[in-house]
Structure 1
């Protein structure tokens, strides 16, 4: 008779669920979305549109305050004029709304968000033809909006507004130069739900509520942000180079502090 050792059984039981949980999870039905879609978009008939828009996010977040969310669309898709990131169960479900310039088509953008409870994370897009598209994932995370800040207030304020633009790659296709780049901004993006770890007092909300990114005078994207965008926001995106040779960034936070800069883009 063949004997199966307990250690083998334990190994199978332990490894299989962990492997399975790495798979992306489709969105789950929830009451929050039933009212949110009408309140935010003025319609109650938004549905997922496979093939028109995709959203990638981890099934189980490693850090609920720094959850990467990437939104993409196929090359032949309609141009997206406006994109809204929603986190259904967050205290402020609208994470950000982006207005997108023509050079961002087809869309490929990643941003880090806070997820406060097990929730659907979704992207809702409106095309230049007035049509809607939606994609999303169910993300397991808790406490992202109230998670302690990564730096104390003094350190955060000392570096507030420092902005870096990093070109990552460039490729030519169809006569156009398509670039990938990363924009990094130092800002605590306080949610209003965090506590000072020394005084235990609630830290007032303070976050970037306006961001504009241009190549020369042409708009790449603008963002109206909220408390669900992570501390020290990072935006990774692809765009069609218009030859301006520079990226201009302007950001304003809820205290009215303005920052940004002009960054050269290497040729080729």
Structure 2
């Protein structure tokens, strides 16, 4: 993983170089365009960064308004920039013949802005997903939902946080690696709807964290793909990057059955983790 690089504002660069850029103002900042400057007491900035990254994330696509179909809940000021809770809710109105295909979470000012793309099984009309993400500086966080007609609908929230991608692990790294790939699955019904939670033990190194012993940067190493199925049908799929917090954890709505639930994860070193749980396990 020593050769792993990040795509930052249309360029590829090594983690150390990417870290050096993190201390610079957001793209578009400066005397020529003060609207991009974000200070501790600033209002939400203009869409300078989003306009520069959207064509790369959604090429040849028009990203429309939420239109009441997608909502994003995020803290205005994060308590822990490395563990920022996000909840995405997707709902189609009665009579709408479309269904949701996927939702992409974007954190504008992160070194790798696309946090993850989450896909669903066919016919999904009402869905909620919660996750924890790293936010590296004051930034818009976006949820861009795709319906099966190809339309994109976006909700956004402005989060005040700093240093989430370079923050050291909150758990003992040796213990985390010792339990690498351990998978937990729980189901819940007390909220009035059925939800499941999946956690995969993994340090999810961003490549921007400093090793206190060597004073070098820990190479990027993270869970890049997750597939959660029940009886062979997709419940949730994820293609993720460095913005997903350590020990990736996803809580989502689903329709439980007696069919077994299988969780499969794969990281950037090609390690595969899988476990099957009885239907309705807790």
Question: Same-fold call, TM > 0.5?
Answer: yes
Quote the offset at 1:154 in angstroms: 1.9
Alignment counterpart, residue 101 of structure 1, candidates 111, 121, 129: 121
Q: Tell me if the contact between 2:70 and 2:154 (Cα under 8 Å) persists in the aligned partners.
A: yes
Of 44-53 and 30-39, deviating more is: 44-53
Hey, what's the Cα distance between the residues in 2 that align with 1:126 and 1:148? 34
Q: How does 1:138-149 map to 2 (within 5 A)?
A: 138-149=158-169
1:197 has 2:212 as partner: yes
Hey, what's the Cα distance between the residues in 2 that align with 1:104 and 1:262? 23
Instruction: Find the residue that maps to 2:254 and give its secondary structure.
Output: strand
- Structure 2, unaligned runs of 5 or more: 1-42
Instruction: Find the residue that maps to 1:83 and give its secondary structure.
Output: strand
Hey, what's the Cα distance between the residues in 2 that align with 1:208 and 1:31? 30
Q: How does 1:5-20 map to 2 (within 5 A)?
A: none
* Normalised TM-score (structure 2): 0.78
Q: Compared with structure 1, are the counterparts of its residues 170 and 246 closer, same or farther at alpha carbon in structure 2 (3 Å cutoff)?
A: farther
1:259 has 2:279 as partner: no
Hey, what's the Cα distance between the residues in 1 that align with 2:261 and 2:124? 14
**1:182 matched residue in structure 2:** 197
**2:90 matched residue in structure 1:** 73
- Structure 1, unaligned runs of 5 or more: 1-25, 173-177
How large is the Cα RMSD of the aligned pairs?
A: 2.0
1:153 has 2:177 as partner: no
Q: How does 1:1-268 map to 2 (within 5 A)?
A: 28-43=45-60, 45-76=62-93, 78-102=98-122, 104-169=124-189, 179-241=194-256, 243-266=257-280
Q: Tell me if the contact between 1:216 and 1:245 (Cα under 8 Å) persists in the aligned partners.
A: yes
By percentage of residues, which structure has more helix? 1
Hey, what's the Cα distance between the residues in 2 that align with 1:135 and 1:188? 29
**2:22 matched residue in structure 1:** none
Of 80-89 and 96-105, deviating more is: 96-105
Q: Compared with structure 1, are the counterparts of its residues 236 and 83 closer, same or farther at alpha carbon in structure 2 (3 Å cutoff)?
A: same
Q: Compared with structure 1, are the counterparts of its residues 53 and 153 closer, same or farther at alpha carbon in structure 2 (3 Å cutoff)?
A: same
Instruction: Find the residue that maps to 1:73 and give its secondary structure.
Output: strand
Instruction: Find the residue that maps to 2:86 and give its secondary structure.
Output: strand
Q: Across the two proteins, how many residue pairs are aligned to each other?
A: 236
* Normalised TM-score (structure 1): 0.82
Quote the offset at 1:47 in angstroms: 3.5
Q: Compared with structure 1, are the counterparts of its residues 171 and 139 closer, same or farther at alpha carbon in structure 2 (3 Å cutoff)?
A: closer
Q: Tell me if the contact between 1:96 and 1:224 (Cα under 8 Å) persists in the aligned partners.
A: yes
Quote the offset at 1:61 in angstroms: 0.3
Instruction: Find the residue that maps to 2:178 and give its secondary structure.
Output: helix
Q: Tell me if the contact between 1:69 and 1:111 (Cα under 8 Å) persists in the aligned partners.
A: yes
Hey, what's the Cα distance between the residues in 2 that align with 1:67 and 1:207? 17
